[in-house]
Amino acid sequence: MVYHSSFIDDEEITKACGCPLLPLKSHIKGPAPVSEQDSTDIVDEAITFFRANVYFRNFDIQSSADKLLIYLTFYINIALKRLEGCRTLAEGTKAIINLGLEQVPVPGEHGFPFPGLFAHPQSQEEAELFRNYLKQIREETSGRLLSVAYRSNGTPNKWWLAFAKRKFMNIIIP
């Protein structure tokens, strides 16, 4: 059984491209609302559920937050693929920073991994809002992923990096 997000559709949460802009426990500047530090956010859920959800080829979407969970699971898969050859935390950090500098496509643009999962932006402002949110959430996920993919002594955690070989939803990562 696939693990779903605990966040439910709420009319008060701002949406862009059909995706809720959920609060994050983040120090990174961006459009996401700030969450309390002791609460669970979508990044925590994505990292916690990743090793179980990566095995599934199909994902039954129960809420719009599940769409974001799918996107983050795919992003974690990409990040682990980049970390696969990095033998130290310093090398991994450099690889993740380079991943963060890449262009973030939005629905309707070439390179967006899930056509049809999110609605196309209705305006340029909505596209930029969604791009900035995805950039912020990717940076936050990358930082938290480094803390689980590497041990405190800076060596790789093989129980996490082994999942770089998995294909989420049968999508091949370049």
For 45, the token pair is: 């859920």
- Sketch out the chain's domains with CATH numbers: 15-170 (1.10.1760.10)
State pTM to two decimals. 0.91
Please give the angle made by the CA atoms of 172, 50 and 147, to the nearest 5 degrees. 105
Would you give per-residue pLDDT tens digits along the chain (174 residues)? 677 787 876 777 889 998 999 999 988 899 999 988 888 899 999 999 898 888 877 878 888 888 999 899 989 999 999 998 899 999 999 999 989 888 899 998 988 888 888 999 999 999 999 999 999 999 999 999 999 999 999 999 998 988 887 776 656 555
Rounded CA separation 86/161 (Å): 10
Site of tokens 């596209």: 127
